Structure 1
Amino acid sequence: MKTFLAIIGLLLFSTVSYAGNLEWEAKEKSNERTIGGRWMMSNHFNEFVTDADYFGKFQIIFFGYTFCPDVCPTSLSNIAEAMDELEGMKEEFQPLFISVDPERDTPTVLREYVRNFHPSIIGLTGPANLIKRTADLFKVKYSKVPASDEKDEHYLIDHSAGVYFMSPGGRFIRKFAHGLPGKDMAKRIKEIIAESKGQ
């Protein structure tokens, strides 16, 4: 019995130690810790990717679409500014722009769009059902705004705003409010990492 308990204790200790190296504890409400999960899509090079492809790096994730007139350009500009502020640490981060408009946002469109903001941003898209599943994992809501003409290609999409900060193991850390300047975002990210390392 003592041997069994010792083995269980060792396994628990090893698991906690391993998790501590990969994960950063989210200091948010317990229900928000369910944000994120396993997903699969295509990147802007039309390559199949999953969440696991970005493990090992902190992920900065934003949901939007390329035809967005204001919210998306502002958020991506802030993310780009944050990446510049994280100079010297940029290799530790991967910003991702997940489209909620698969009808128009092809990999080629996304590739041309994200290059206007920062070279490290990767655009993700895919079939509508996979995008919906991924959005649900992050509790993101979006819907097409009804147009007067059903054939109007310039429709808008209402969608949740905010930037998700995820651990190198894909766990939710926190959500930054829409409009938060990149400098402030980078400052908070550095503080979170320092706190997690016990500095």
Structure 2
Amino acid sequence: MDKTVAYIAAGVVVVALGGTYLATALMTPSGEDAFAQCRGGAVAGDAIGGPFTLIDEAGQTVTDQDVITEPSILYFGYTFCPDVCPLDTMRNAQAVDVLANEGISATPIFISIDPERDTPEVVGRFADNFHDKMIGLTGSDEQVAAASRAYRTYYRRGEGEDEFYLMDHSTFSYIVLPEYGFVDYIRREDTPEDVAARVACFAAAS
């Protein structure tokens, strides 16, 4: 199985089974899911999330522990994206504002899947345009691929040899908590209010 097929297969599993992984750290002593009341989907068997090393907008190497310091909404996209990425990124930023109005601090994180064009400066400007708290990350091809594998995302460069190529990619966002890691995913149809309510639930239960 080649890498593209493998990523597609993983994405199908996420869609079909709900994309939620119950890691040992999320279980109570009785074996119950500590966040069951917050989850939007069923339980899947493959781990989602994990450590990553990327480059921030200042050109500094950072890890997941450096950037995930509070409830976070993580999204993989690219700055040249004409439609889906801006809409999803704006929705995540708006959810952070809804949470702020409720007294809950959260961080939106944007990870580029297009490091060829998305330099630290480019991804930084993109993130800053959406929210002053948004963290924009990029990296080498290998670093981005490793982060994508950790979150079971799919991406592939489209046809075209010039600088105007598009990227095909999955469109889930991920709710991530410090110490726990990934706890649930967000679908495209979820509204800012939906996302905020889910993040607030996880924050209260953690």
Which bracket does the TM-score occupy, shorter chain normalised? 0.7 to 0.9
SS in 1 for 2:126: helix
Take 2:158 and 2:149, find their aligned partners in 1: how far apart are those partners? 19
CA contact (8 A) 2:48 2:182 kept: yes
Q: Is the 8 A contact 2:96 2:107 kept in 1?
A: no
Q: 2:202 aligns with which of 183, 186, 192?
A: 192
Divergent runs of 4+, >4 A: 24-28, 88-91
Q: Does 1:40 align with 2:53?
A: yes
Q: How many percent identity over aligned positions?
A: 35
Deviation of 1:192 (Å): 3.3
Structure 2 counterpart of 1:172, which letter? F
Alignment of 1:144-163 (within 5 A): 144-147=157-160, 150=161, 152-163=162-173
Farther-moved stretch of structure 1 (92-101 vs 65-74): 92-101
Pick closer, same or farther for the CA change 1:170–1:48 going to 2, 3 Å: farther
1:6 corresponds to:
none
CA distances 1:70-96 after superposition (whole Å, capped 9, x unpaired): 110001110111011011567742211
Tell me by how many angstroms 1:129 deviates: 0.8
Counterpart CA distance in 2 for 1:73 and 1:175 is: 18
User: What is the TM-score when the length of structure 2 is the normalising length?
Assistant: 0.76
User: Which of 124, 136, 139 is 1:111 aligned to?
Assistant: 124
Report the AA paired with residue 31 of structure 1.
G
Contact conserved, 1:58 with 1:168, CA < 8 A, in 2? Answer: yes
In structure 2, what is the equivalent of residue 179 of structure 1? 189
Tell me whether 1:84 sits opposite 2:68 in the alignment.
no
Shift in Å at residue 191 of structure 1? 2.8
Question: Structure 2 vs 1, CA of residues 38 and 106 (structure 1 numbering), >3 Å: closer, same or farther?
Answer: same
The answer to whether the Cα contact below 8 Å between 2:56 and 2:136 also exists between their aligned partners in 1 is: yes
Contact 2:115 2:141 in 1 (8 A): yes
* Residue 64 (structure 1) aligned to one of 77, 80, 83: 77
Distance 2:103 2:93 in 1: 11
Corresponding residue for 1:167?
A: 177
**Match of 2:45, as an amino acid?**
N
Confirm or deny: 8 A CA contact 2:112 2:137 kept in the other structure. Answer: yes
- For residue 129 of structure 2, give the secondary structure of its aligned residue in structure 1: coil
Q: 2:141 aligns with which of 120, 125, 128?
A: 128
> Given the two structures, how large is their TM-score scaled by the length of structure 1?
0.79
Number of equivalent positions: 174
Name the SS of the counterpart of 1:115 in structure 2: helix
Match for residue 45 of structure 2 among 23, 31, 42: 31
Alpha-carbon separation, structure 1, partners of 2:102 and 2:64: 21
What's the CA shift for 1:176?
0.5
Letter in 1 for 2:50: G
Distance in 2 of aligned mates of 1:53 and 1:132: 19
Between structure 1 and structure 2, the one with the greater Rg is: 1
Contact 1:78-1:179 at 8 Å conserved across structures: no
Query: In 2, distance between residues paired with 1:120 and 1:77?
Result: 12
Residues 74 and 179 of structure 1 are in contact (CA less than 8 Å); yes or no, is this contact kept in structure 2?
no
Higher relative contact order (CA 8 A, sep 6+): 1
